[in-house]
Structure 1
Amino acid sequence: MRVGFIGLGAVGAKLAGTLARNGVDLTVFDLDPARVALLTGQGAKAGEGPGQIMRACDVVVTSLPSPAASQAVLEQLLPEVAHGKTWIEMSTTDPEAIKQQAQSVIARGGQAADCPVSGGCHRAATGNISIFAGCDRATFETVLPILTIMGRRVLHTGDVGSASVLKVMTNYLATAHLATLCEAMTTMAAHGIDLGTTFEAIKASSGNSFVHETESQLILSGSRDVDFTLDLVLKDIGLFQKLADDKGIPLEMSPKLIEIVKDGQARYGDRAQSDRLIERLEEATGLSIRAPGFPLELVDDEPEERGHEIARGLSQ
């Protein structure tokens, strides 16, 4: 199967790299030639643009920074879509937009799936990230062999759009826990509790989470470089707020999270790393939320292995 990959950003480059590393016939494209060169150095071929890649490949994957970017690329893909062509959208995007986009692909005889990922860039690099897949079952069977190369756990979430709804929900929860972890660690530091001990207490308790086990380490080491920027955080939690607004749900924490992230952007820049939110509290208190012995970057120490579909309602 010939696979095209468009969008070689923080996550996309790692997903594409996993495909190349596993011997997939891969053609890549990005507006930044340096990113393309990185993948051709790993065995991929350089594509000329979205249209040429769709024409040459059976499956085209996109991983792009915004719904607008996804739409712009799709408009270039569509003229080349026909029976036997499949589009996999792996961006975190607007659930309503992806439904309309998928229908435009299906109307031309192609297949479409929205397949956002979750689990951090370090797990994208090793093929151990989780993938949600929204599409009909026949399309899922088509894309599953590719998804199980890029990810460890693949969940078929239902129709197109369902995966994107779930993805923005999970990113909202991750942002909420990051904000509360910043408050928790700062409060413990103010009370003189050792922050290394604080980390272990949270990890061993009901307060633990994936965000704590990953991002808290980068906060405490002082690295604050989780490879996910505040503009992307704001996009994702804004999409979640829109989901709630569309159904008239009076969220209380979500607007505050949006306010916190916007304040972080005003202080540190739109493209600042998301875990720099801790610095708002460091500046407010004069405390240093750091501890020795924590890594400067996250490394996935699980061995890479072929992924599998996870059954809904069952823990695996």
Structure 2
Amino acid sequence: MTRIGFVGLGIMGGPMAANLVEAGYEVTGYNRSSAKVEKLVAAGGKGARDIAEAVSDADVIITMLPDSPDVENVVLGEDGVLAHARSGALLIDCSTIRPEVSRTVAERAAQRGVRALDAPVSGGEQGAIDGALSIMVGGEAEAFAAAGEVFEVVGKTVVHVGPAGSGQTVKAANQLIVAGNIALVAEALVFLEAHGVDTESAFQVLGGGLAGSKVLDAKNRGMRERTFKPGFRIELHHKDLGIVQSAARESGVSTPVGSLVAQLVAAAVAQGDGSLDHSGLFRQIARLNGTE
């Protein structure tokens, strides 16, 4: 499988597509913004004028889109991916969407002879650039095995977690954990600053103990310096926490801490911080303490 059609060349999709080009795949990319397509072409890929051109000859089709309605439109739409994908192709959707939408995509894909995987990713922009993403994959075992070499290029930790929709369910849990971690790191920083502690050394020692986490390591400096250049925007995390809450209600699960964090994230979006990196949730915590 050497020909890859890639739809969605944003913060995550762009670096992933470029890594596949570097690995020797023939990658044809499509994005609504032509500048993103031109960037892929500059990296050695090919540009497509529309979805049909990107996917019609592809052995593997990868989509990386913002939300469930985007996947429904781009993949399931009248002129979408499945309308043009050839029978036998492998569709890998790396978007983070509602599990039930992924199950619908898998069903519709099977009707057209296309194998489908829901494969949301974690690791942020740097993980995409480094080809070190964590990828949680739902779908048939045979399709997962067929995608192995592609996943090796873009991911470091790649795990088949169950049937269609399972990848999205695990990703929802991931976003729940990450949001809670970000909120607590932000609270800790406000607490430390209130006591006049040297926060750089404080986080150094905290990172070496049980309080340590990838979130703490990756996000504390941006919080301390008040720099929130987006690797993953607050507004997207807000969307993901909506997926968590919806799926939790459907299964009768209570997520009290997650619900509180979801409200804080919603407030940050309402106050105009949605375009910041999700570590910008610090601003909302600081506002509650009158320090921002």
- TM-score bracket for the superposition, by shorter chain length: over 0.9
SS at match of 2:271: helix
Q: Provide the residue aligned with 2:119 in structure 1.
A: 115
- Output the TM-score relative to the length of structure 2: 0.94
Q: Provide the residue aligned with 1:159 in structure 2.
A: 163
Matching of residue 135 in structure 1 with residue 139 in structure 2? yes
Shift of 1:198: 1.6
Q: Provide the residue aligned with 1:27 in structure 2.
A: 28
Aligned positions of 1:241-260 closer than 5 A: 241-260=245-264
Of 13-22 and 173-182, more deviation after overlay is shown by 13-22
What stretches of structure 2 of length at least 5 have no aligned partner?
A: none
Shift of 1:226: 4.1
Go from structure 1 to structure 2 and tell me whether the alpha carbon gap of 1:284 and 1:253 turns closer, same or farther (over 3 Å shift). Answer: closer
Q: Provide the residue aligned with 2:19 in structure 1.
A: 18
What stretches of structure 1 of length at least 5 have no aligned partner?
A: 289-316
- Distance in 2, Cα, partners of 1:262 & 1:150: 31
Q: Is the 8 A contact 1:190 1:287 kept in 2?
A: no
Residue of 254, 276, 292 corresponding to 1:272: 276
Matching of residue 185 in structure 1 with residue 155 in structure 2? no
SS at match of 1:103: helix
The superposition leaves residues 67-89 of structure 1 with CA deviations (integer Å, 9 ceiling, x where unpaired) of 10011111211222343211110
Shift of 1:180: 0.8
- Distance in 2, Cα, partners of 1:126 & 1:155: 18
Shift of 1:8: 0.9
Partner amino acid, structure 2, of 1:23: G
Shift of 1:264: 0.7
Partner amino acid, structure 1, of 2:44: G
SS at match of 2:134: strand
Q: How many residues align?
A: 288
The superposition leaves residues 27-81 of structure 1 with CA deviations (integer Å, 9 ceiling, x where unpaired) of 0000000011111000010012112222121111000000100111112112223
SS at match of 1:125: helix
| Identity across the alignment (%) | 26
Q: Is the 8 A contact 2:248 2:254 kept in 1?
A: yes
Q: Which runs of 4+ in 1 moved over 6 A?
A: none
- Distance in 1, Cα, partners of 2:10 & 2:173: 22
Alignment RMSD: 1.5
- Distance in 2, Cα, partners of 1:217 & 1:282: 16
Higher relative contact order (CA 8 A, sep 6+): 1
